[in-house]
Structure 1
Amino acid sequence: MPVREEVVIDANGVCGAARNPIDDVIASRLSCRQFSDSPVARSTIEQILRVARFAPSGANIQPWHVYVLAGAAKTEVSAALLHAYEREPGEHVSEYQYYATEFPEPYLSRRQEFGRLFYGSLGIEQSDAAARSRQTAKNFAFFGAPVGLIVTIDRRLAMGSWLDLGMFIQTMMLAAVGRGLQSCPQETLAKYHRILRPMLSIPAEQMVACGISMGHPREQARARLMPRADVEAFASFKGFEN
């Protein structure tokens, strides 16, 4: 008979990691924006990708492709992205719309709270456009991570394949945590597909979905910065009365 695992919530609202190894990995994942320069072996990334390929995929389509960058190749791509960000403002946009044009509640309040918490944690006033721009620029150096990934999807597929892609990306990030690494998914890199396409030989049928920074965090996170809604706020239960 399987043992029922009890869920424990700590002061930060995070599931008690020690109760279940899988819960530990999920609750420990965070969007890291400060990496150490400790190298990550190609074999480690290959292990992560080898596990992530088992993410769910409707009809086993597997719509993803990953371009893995390190060393001089990553440095070259980073320099090109930063140049485009600094010298060509407003000229680069993603091939898909990530955010809604207008946010209804509760999403508007959550987004505003994110801005207050994120920039507040960095000591940046939300009105300080220059400081915010400098923080955004760190995306293009993959936040100092030794590995950068560019993830694409075949544009000829439909929205359902984007569900598959999301599950694949999440599985990659969880597999990284299981190996002592952290990551940061970066939609903003998708804006620079015109820069990335020739540099990485990305074929025309592939759409750049996002980038991911991956490596060892500079320091262990002491507390989760972003709060998450309680289960009661997003889940409805029926049929459990008995």
Structure 2
Amino acid sequence: MNSVADAIQSRMSVRAFTKEPVSKEQILKILNLSARAPSGTNTQPWKAYVLEGAKLEGLCKQVCDAYDSIAANPELEKEYQPGYDYYPSKWFSPYIDRRRENGWSLYGLLGITKGDKDKMHAQHRKNFQFFGAPVGIFFTIDKELGRGSMLDYGMFLQNFMVAAKGEGLDTCPQAAWNAYTKIILPFIGAQDHEMLVCGMALGYADKQEIVNTFRTPRVTAEEFTTWLA
């Protein structure tokens, strides 16, 4: 039981990886463990695409080029839209407050100040290189499935990240990729009925990088729980 708690507590979004390779056997083990997640009527709505080597580099280059083109011409952003709304259309408290705290805490650690657009762009761009990880994974779902299947998918993804910690590996779940589905889905050979859920960086954390000292705070159970008796 302690090992499970330790894996959950030590899991974090790693934003700098070493180039140490991850074996296919390890990845398959993690995916098979992840697939023990519950799903409504055992629908198992998950599908994974694993990229390494030249394929990973090729995809990253295409998306980085698109991201850079938007910075040069913001009108191009209209061409890149996610398959679903991950965030609310209008932010409100307490969620906007947590978002701001998270963003400025991370940027502050990296010495990026408000208004420093070039450094912000460069840091955000690292998303589209999987933060240097040797493995990048894209997860898709059938577009015809309901909201409940996204709940199932979240449990699958949490299993994946905790199982990865059990293997001594680190991860970063990434919604940043979702805007570039028109590039990603054809590249990975996804079917027309598939929708991108998220990307995931997988590898070994670079412990020398200051960005990996950043840990996000959590609201305590006492604050978000109502007891009824």
TM-score (norm 2): 0.92
Q: Whole-Å Cα distance in 1 between the matches of residues 123 and 206 of structure 2?
A: 17
CA RMSD of aligned residues (A): 1.5
Aligned equivalent of 2:2: 20
Measured against aligned partners, the alpha-carbon deviations of 1:136-194 in whole angstroms (never above 9, x if no partner) come to 11011100000000010110011000000111111101110111111001111111111
Corresponding residue to 1:216 among 167, 182, 204: 204
Instruction: Indicate whether 1:169 and 2:143 are aligned.
Output: no
Which amino acid is the alignment partner of residue 152 of structure 1?
T
Q: Whole-Å Cα distance in 1 between the matches of residues 118 and 151 of structure 2?
A: 36
Q: Whole-Å Cα distance in 1 between the matches of residues 8 and 173 of structure 2?
A: 15
Kept after mapping to 2: 8 A contact 1:150/1:210: yes
Higher helix share: 2
Identity %: 40
Deviation at 1:211, TM superposition (A): 0.4
Kept after mapping to 1: 8 A contact 2:133/2:202: yes
Kept after mapping to 2: 8 A contact 1:115/1:126: no
Q: Whole-Å Cα distance in 2 between the matches of residues 150 and 190 of structure 1?
A: 10
Deviation at 1:223, TM superposition (A): 5.4
Q: Whole-Å Cα distance in 2 between the matches of residues 199 and 111 of structure 1?
A: 31
Kept after mapping to 1: 8 A contact 2:140/2:195: yes
Aligned equivalent of 2:73: none
Question: Match of 2:64, SS?
Answer: helix
Which amino acid is the alignment partner of residue 120 of structure 1?
G
Which amino acid is the alignment partner of residue 49 of structure 1?
L
Kept after mapping to 2: 8 A contact 1:93/1:190: yes
Which amino acid is the alignment partner of residue 11 of structure 2?
R
Structure 1: give runs of 5+ residues left out of the alignment.
Answer: 1-18
Structure 2: give runs of 5+ residues left out of the alignment.
Answer: 71-75
Question: Match of 1:177, SS?
Answer: helix
Deviation at 1:126, TM superposition (A): 2.5
Kept after mapping to 2: 8 A contact 1:117/1:225: no
Question: Match of 1:211, SS?
Answer: strand
TM-score (norm 1): 0.87
CA spacing shift, 1:82–1:223, aligned 2, 3 Å: closer
Deviation at 1:237, TM superposition (A): 1.8
